Amino acid sequence: MATHEISLTVNGEDREFDVESGTLLVHALRDQLGYTGPNVGCESTVCGACTVRLDGDSVKSCTVLAVQADGSEVTTVSGLADGDDLHPLQESFRDEHALQCGYCTPGMLMSSLSLLEREPDPDREEIREGIEGNLCRCTGYEPIVDAVEAAAGEMRGGTDAASEEGE
């Protein structure tokens, strides 16, 4: 199989490396570059565990060939935190117990971030629609919806529904 030299900016770091033509982005990130945040789940777009941001859009990295991403900016779940400071979504997933085994968490976080960038004040149904395509076998989804709702409030400056009710 032919190989190609590609370049990616992953979590702010410029990377150049060779990939075979048929290498999926998820495998290039994990196996060649060591970014283990995107998980390999179904490899058929069903589970969402491999979701990353590609040039600002959430994509299932099992559907993108690495060569298709050449020259792109990729953000994995590990790119959300700023050093030891967690992103508000990461904090809310922890605080709301929105993770159990953690396998779906990277994809849920990346999809949730895209949702909150499109809709900073989503209702619970919009949150459910925003994480659609990400499967979780542990939480029952309610803690995930709670976490996204809490993070939305935090990201808007602390004006979530709970703080508004107390006013």
For the chain, percent of residues with pLDDT exceeding 70 = 94
Q: How far is CA 166 from CA 78, 95, 124, 162, in A?
A: 35, 20, 20, 7
Query: Looking at residue 108, what is its pLDDT?
Result: 97
Token digits for 128? 């459910």
Query: Looking at residue 140, what is its pLDDT?
Result: 85
Query: Looking at residue 10, what is its pLDDT?
Result: 98
Average per-residue pLDDT for the chain: 93
**Count of beta carbons in the 10 Å neighbourhood of residue 113:** 24
> Is residue 151 within 8 Å of residue 115, measured between CB atoms?
no
Tens digit of each residue's pLDDT (9 = 90 or more) over 105-135 = 999 999 999 999 999 999 999 999 999 999 9
Statement: residue 86 has pLDDT above 90: yes
pLDDT grade, residue 159 (50/70/90)? low
DSSP 122-163: --HHHHHHHTTT---SSS-SHHHHHHHHHHHHHHTTS--HHH
Predicted model pTM: 0.90
